[in-house]
Amino acid sequence: MKVKNLVILLGALGALSLSPARAGTLVAGEAQYFSQDEGSTVPSLPMPATNPPPAQQLTPQTGGSAVPPTGQPPLSDPGASEQQNLPPQPPNADAEEVKALYDQLQNALDQKDWQTADQTTFGLMLAIAGERSKSQGRFNLDEWENFSCDELKKIDSLWSGASDGKLGFSAQWRVFESAKRLFPIFYNRVGWYDAFMKEWRVTWSYNSDTKKATYQRSPDFENPMQNEGYLPAILAWEAPNNEPSRERERRFVRINACGLQG
C-alpha cells in the first residue's frame, strides 16, 4: 500500500526581490508571521511535512510567539554545548561507496550540474548516516541525531565553494537566522515558497513502496543562486512511531548542533 508519507512544503519567490529580506526587512506576505513584539518570537522546528497547508493558516500564535500550527520546541541557541556532548560517530558507511559519491558530488558541483549535485547530496548523506537510513531511503531519526559533523561540514564546504557561499547548509542557516528561525519566512526567503502568491513552488514526497523521496515540484536548477540557501533542497526523515502527521523537516537540528553557522 502506497503511503504518501513525506511532502516537504516549499516554494519560490519569483517576482519579488529578496535582497531587502536578507537585510532584515520583511517582504510582501511575511509580516503576518510576526507578532507585534518581534523580539519575543521563538524558534520552532519545521512545519509538518504533510499536505501543504494554506499560507493564511500559518498565523502567529498567542503569547508573543509566531510558530506554525503544531509548532515544536525551540532549537538550542547557536554556540550551545550540544555539539560537544555528542557521542563519537560510528563508522556506519561503506568507505568506497562514500568516496565514490563524494567524487560524484564534486564533479557535479564543478560542472554546475546543480540537479545532480542536489540528488547526490541526499544519497551521500544517507550512506553516511547508516544502514537504516540507506535501506529505507530517508533518515532514521537515531542515525540523524548522530550524523557526523565532520561529514556535514565537508558537504557544506563543497556547496559553498562552488557557489561563492550562496548555497549549502551554512547559507541556509544564515537565512534561517535572518528569518528569526520562523519556517514560513525561511521558506519564502530561500525561494521555496511564494508568500505573495501564497503558493508552494518546490515540494517533494516520500514513497514507502519505492523507498524514495522524489520531487513533485522541482527547484529551478538552471538558476539556483537566485536566492541564498536555495540548494540543497531534498532531504527526508522518518516519522516518530511511523505517524505521518509527525513528519518534520529536520535539517536545522543537525546544522545547529554541528555549528554550521558561518
> Which residue's entry shows cell 520531487?
215
State the cell numbers at 179: 528569518
* Contact assessment for residue 260 and residue 156, using Cβ atoms and an 8 Å cutoff: yes
* Contact assessment for residue 29 and residue 231, using Cβ atoms and an 8 Å cutoff: no
Kindly report, residue by residue over 84-115, the tens digit of the pLDDT. 343 344 455 689 999 999 999 999 999 999 99
State what percent of residues in the chain have pLDDT above 90.
58
pLDDT of residue 82: 36
16: which residues sit within 8 A by CB, 6+ positions away?
27, 28, 196
pLDDT at 19 over 80: no
Kindly report, residue by residue over 216-237, the tens digit of the pLDDT. 999 999 999 999 999 999 999 9
pLDDT of residue 173: 97
Q: What mean pLDDT is reported for the chain?
A: 74
Confidence bin at 29 (pLDDT 50/70/90): low
Q: How far is CA 151 from CA 27, 157, 228, in A?
A: 35, 10, 22
* Contact assessment for residue 129 and residue 115, using Cβ atoms and an 8 Å cutoff: no
pLDDT at 238 over 80: yes
pLDDT of residue 232: 98
Among residues 247, 44, 88, 258, which one has the least CA distance to residue 169? 258
pLDDT of residue 105: 98
Residue type, 150: D
pLDDT of residue 30: 64
pLDDT of residue 55: 34
148: which residues sit within 8 A by CB, 6+ positions away?
89, 128
Kindly report, residue by residue over 114-128, the tens digit of the pLDDT. 999 999 999 999 999
What whole-number distance in Å separates Cα of residue 252 and Cα of residue 183? 11
Lowest mean pLDDT among 7-16, 20-29, 238-247: 7-16
Reported pTM? 0.71
What whole-number distance in Å separates Cα of residue 78 and Cα of residue 139? 23
196 compared with 79, residue with greater pLDDT: 196
5 compared with 129, residue with greater pLDDT: 129
Average confidence (pLDDT) over 142-155: 97
Q: Most distant CA pair in the chain: distance in Å?
A: 54
Confidence bin at 243 (pLDDT 50/70/90): confident
What whole-number distance in Å separates Cα of residue 106 and Cα of residue 236? 22
Kindly report, residue by residue over 33-56, the tens digit of the pLDDT. 544 333 323 233 344 333 333 333
Paired with 214 in beta bridges are 205
pLDDT of residue 170: 97
